[in-house]
Amino acid sequence: MILRSLAVCLALLAAPLAHAQNMFAPVVDVDGRVVTAFELDQRARMMRLFQAPGDPREAALDALIDERLQLAEARRQGVTVTDEQLAEGKAEFAGRAGLETAEFIQVLAAEGIDETTFDDFVRAGQAWRTIVRQQFGSQAAQLVTPEDVEEAAKAPPQPGLRVLLSEIILPANTPQNAQRSQALLPRLRSISTLPAFASAAREYSASPSRDRGGRLDWLALDELPPQIRNVVQGLQPGEVTPPIEVPNAIALFQLRAIEETDPAQPVIGIDYAAFYIPGGGTGAAAQTIARLDAEVQTCDDLYSVAQGLPAERLQRDTLPPAQIPGDVAVELAQLDPGERSVALSRAGGQTRVYLMLCERLYKTEEELAEIDRNALRDALVNRRVGRQADAYLAELRANATITYP
């Protein structure tokens, strides 16, 4: 009896130890430098938070392999990142989200991401930029001539692109829903025909578009959020994107068609309003939506509706397309000014979103005509440096020994 009790105790003690060992087990070896399961999990969490395109774990593993190669090359060339440079890099990155470093670290912690993961990410990026600048910067600057700048300045505007997409929106607002949705992904990602995707959308999608097989109308590609645009523009008709995480959901898109449009003024900002309606799918929420449809003609009308309510019930923002949450951006891309959507929800489906497009903002004719030659030259140099850096990293990968234990 005593021996049996001792065996049980040892088994219970061994379980968390085995889990800890598994978390620090290597998942890939890059020239003798391993990436652990813990690092992969942490980076995948960060990829989800940043709404990076594609599967978060695949993207995380690919990035970590690149960073092992970049840091190894930095050591070979004697490139180091000081504590001061690291702090500056973290502050700059946090500033892109409008946050101080400490605030950004709190956001990471809330998602279970350790600060050292952020440090490693920033350090690798800074070291690689130093290598690229030293190796290619001056050469690229010499190769871009004044004639190149003038030719680029006189080039006609590029045609725009618009796409026909179908969507499947899988709920992930609770752990149970997220688990069920994840289980469906292998089947949905294997779809290669339009009818099969439409059938799956009718069966599984949580979006109102399910009633029309997930089909969306034509969307301007440059109005889609980057995490969707970057994936969609690489598809062939019939192909399906990897899973893309949006608030409370997992989205998959199938490309039905893509075509060029006449050159258009670039959208630099979108003015939109969101009125939050408690009650989810209740009759009371439906009555509120019907009342808004009857009373609201413009975004400004929502202010009178929200009068006397808590300030957080009405949100109005003017943001560049890239800074708008992914699910909101997709809905806005389907609207004309003054139109609304009630397809979205928040708080696990308990709050309906009455989303309204107020206005799209474009550059003025004067701004379009005024070309900053210095900025254009910098863009040409950066483009050339970027191509050289990509080729250099591809060469490092080709020469590396990468194994998966």
Name, in order, each residue with C-beta under 8 angstroms of 139's C-beta and a sequence gap of 6 or more: none
Both 122 and 33 in one domain: the answer is yes
Q: What is the DSSP string of 269-285?
A: EEEEEEEEEETTTSHHH
Both 29 and 112 in one domain: the answer is yes
What's the Cα-to-Cα distance from 382 to each of 96, 139, 230, 394, rounded to whole Å? 20, 11, 19, 18
Contact 351, 285 (CB under 8 A): no
Task: Kindly state whether residues 80 and 124 are assigned to the same domain.
Answer: yes
Torsional sign, CA 44, 45, 46, 49? positive
Does residue 341 sit within a domain?
yes
pLDDT (0 to 100) of residue 5: 45
Would residue 89 count as lying in a domain?
yes
pTM for this predicted structure:
0.56
**Dihedral angle over CA of 284, 290, 296, 298, nearest 10:** 100
In a domain, 377, yes or no: no
Partners of residue 255 on adjacent β-strands: 165
Residue 343 within a domain: yes
Distances (CA, A) of 210 to 73, 181, 225: 50, 16, 21
pLDDT tens for each residue of the chain, 405 residues long:
444 444 434 443 444 444 445 878 899 999 999 999 999 999 998 888 776 766 788 889 999 999 999 999 999 999 999 999 999 999 988 887 667 899 889 989 988 999 999 999 999 999 999 998 888 877 777 777 777 777 766 665 566 788 999 999 998 888 888 889 989 988 888 888 999 999 999 999 998 899 999 999 998 888 888 778 888 888 888 888 888 887 778 899 999 998 887 666 678 889 999 999 998 878 899 999 999 999 999 999 999 999 999 999 999 999 988 888 888 988 998 899 999 999 888 887 789 999 999 999 876 655 555 566 677 677 777 888 888 888 989 999 999 999 988
Q: Same structural domain for residues 19 and 107?
A: yes
Residue 371 lies in a domain: no
25 lies in the same domain as 119: yes
Question: What's 168's domain CATH number?
Answer: 3.10.50.40
Among 218, 237, 261, which residue terminates a domain?
A: 261
Residues 12 and 104 in one domain: yes
Residues 249 and 179 in one domain: yes
CATH number, domain with residue 88 = 1.10.4030.10
pLDDT score at 265: 67
Q: Is 353 helix (H, G, I), strand (E, B) or coil?
A: strand
Find out whether 276 and 312 touch, Cβ atoms under 8 Å: yes
Final residue before a domain boundary, out of 215, 230, 261 = 261
Same domain, 185 and 255: yes
What pLDDT score does 126 carry?
Answer: 92
**CATH number, domain at 346?**
3.10.50
**Which of the listed residues 232, 261, 290 is the one where a domain comes to its end?**
261
| Pick from 284, 274, 245: nearest CA to 54 | 245
Q: What is the DSSP letter of 30?
A: E
What is the spatial distance between Cα 81 and Cα 340, in angstroms, rounded to a whole number? 49
Residues 44 and 105 in one domain: yes
Residue 319 lies inside a defined structural domain of this protein: yes
- At 165, give phi and psi (nearest 5°): -120, 155
How many domains is the chain built from?
A: 3
Give the range of the structural domain holding residue 315, as residue numbers without chain letter.
267-365
Residues 201, 210: contact at Cβ < 8 Å? yes
Q: Residue 185 falls within a domain, yes or no?
A: yes
Gap between the Cα atoms of 339 and 273, Å rounded: 11
**Same-domain status, 167 and 230:** yes
Residues 72 and 133 in one domain: yes
